[in-house]
């Protein structure tokens, strides 16, 4: 099971992410199939050569033909799908996903699939502010991080296969984290930053500010353009972790505010020196 070569890969859900998986894997020479409930997405993927075959109906003979299945669905749709059609999956297949929260997904998927197939969670850290297969691209994951989140239920062979999938997509860095480490990291780096951007952007009716806006406000709010259905679902799935990251931020923001209120310039400067030092770690090399 450790070689990805010659494996047939099925992508379930042909949106931006699923479509880009299909495009990248086909471009890398794999035999890729697709399923999407919208026939027009299937047709588009076929016409662009993202998939060799595809259908909008989920049938046992079609699904059972694949060795590797990638779910690129909204989480609640994912669980429904596996409850309905999990029995169609080939015995011993490798199943993975693309969801941005892992704890709530990985354990549940492993339970749902039971002994039939091995589930290894994965998170390709790439995305765009646009959606749908028409924005999919074979190069979406080039240079991205691809995180695999195994549990003690996984075999080394399954994990290695899932990592090979990340490399086949063109990811720059493939790494392993536990589902919990992943969710803490993503809670801070991605979900908290989106919460900040959304909150900042809702503060004011801001038409009249456009003319005066420099790069700092633009940079802090770029990610305030957000798919509300997907992100609200991801926030709720990572609720406890995200709340604790929000509290952490509030603590530091309030400390700065208190220092300003008390005109305690030294505390303000200390925070600025620390932020300057830490931000320098992130300068791109």
Site residues (CB under 8 A) for a second copy, limited to 222-241: 222-229, 231-233, 235-236, 239
φ, ψ at 191 (rounded to 5°): -70, -45
Strand, coil or helix: what is 6?
Answer: coil
Asked if 90 contacts 115 with a C-beta cutoff of 8 angstroms, the reply is no
| Residue 188 touches a second copy, criterion: CB under 8 A | yes
Site residues (CB under 8 A) for a second copy, limited to 16-55: none
What is the size of the binding site for a second copy (CB under 8 A)?
Answer: 83
Retrieve residue 238's tokens.
């990572």
Contact stretch for a second copy (CB under 8 A) within 18-26, 76-84, 161-169, 185-193: 185-193
In the bound state with a second copy, the residue whose beta carbon lies nearer, of 88 and 231, is 231
| Residue 195 touches a second copy, criterion: CB under 8 A | yes
| Residue 273 touches a second copy, criterion: CB under 8 A | yes
| Residue 200 to residue 221: CA distance in whole angstroms | 7
Binding to a second copy by CB under 8 A, coded x per residue (else -) over 97-136, reads ----------------------------xx----------
Sign of the torsion angle spanned by Cα atoms 155, 161, 162, 164: positive
- Give the one residue of 5, 6, 114, 279 binding a second copy; rule: CB under 8 A: 279
| Residue 221 touches a second copy, criterion: CB under 8 A | yes
Sign of the torsion angle spanned by Cα atoms 165, 167, 173, 175: positive
- Give the one residue of 2, 38, 142, 272 binding a second copy; rule: CB under 8 A: 272
In the bound state with a second copy, the residue whose beta carbon lies nearer, of 111 and 252, is 252
- Nearest distance in Å: CB 127, a second copy: 8
Burial tier of 247 (Cβ tally within 10 Å: 0-12, 13-18, 19+): exposed
In the bound state with a second copy, the residue whose beta carbon lies nearer, of 60 and 274, is 274
| Residue 77 touches a second copy, criterion: CB under 8 A | no
Contacts 24+ apart (CB under 8 A), 244-251: 244/187, 245/184, 245/187, 245/188, 245/191, 245/192, 246/192, 246/195, 248/188, 249/192, 249/196
Token pair 């109906």: residue: 57
What count of Cα atoms within 13 Å lies in the side-chain half-sphere of residue 57? 4
| Residue 244 touches a second copy, criterion: CB under 8 A | no
Site residues (CB under 8 A) for a second copy, limited to 134-163: 144-145, 147
| Residue 1 to residue 134: CA distance in whole angstroms | 33
Contact stretch for a second copy (CB under 8 A) within 54-62, 72-80, 132-140, 212-220: 212-220
């Amino acid at each position: 099971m450790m070689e990805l070569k010659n494996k047939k890969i099925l992508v379930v859900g042909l949106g931006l992410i699923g479509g880009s998986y299909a495009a990248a894997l086909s471009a890398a020479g794999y035999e890729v199939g697709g399923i999407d409930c919208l026939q027009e997405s299937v047709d588009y993927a076929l016409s662009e050569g993202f998939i060799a075959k595809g259908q909008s109906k989920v049938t046992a003979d079609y699904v059972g033909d694949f060795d590797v299945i990638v779910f690129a669905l909204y989480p609640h749709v994912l669980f429904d799908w596996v409850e309905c059609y999990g029995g169609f999956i080939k015995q011993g297949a490798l199943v993975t996903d693309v969801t941005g929260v892992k704890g709530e997904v990985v354990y549940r998927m492993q339970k749902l699939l039971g002994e039939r197939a091995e589930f290894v969670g994965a998170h390709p850290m790439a995305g765009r502010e646009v959606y749908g297969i028409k924005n999919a691209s074979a190069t979406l994951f080039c240079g991205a991080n691809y995180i695999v989140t195994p549990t003690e239920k996984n075999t080394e062979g399954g994990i290695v296969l899932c990592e090979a999938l990340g490399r086949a997509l063109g990811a720059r860095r493939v790494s392993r984290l536990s589902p919990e480490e992943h969710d803490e990291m993503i809670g801070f780096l991605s979900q908290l930053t989106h919460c900040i951007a959304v909150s900042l952007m809702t503060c004011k009716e801001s038409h009249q500010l456009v003319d005066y806006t420099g790069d700092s406000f633009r940079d802090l709010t770029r990610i305030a353009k957000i798919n509300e259905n997907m992100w609200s679902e991801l926030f709720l799935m990572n609720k406890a972790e995200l709340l604790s990251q929000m509290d952490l931020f509030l603590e530091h923001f309030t400390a700065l505010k208190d220092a300003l209120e008390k005109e305690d310039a030294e505390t303000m400067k200390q925070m600025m020196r620390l932020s300057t030092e830490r931000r320098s770690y992130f300068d791109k090399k």
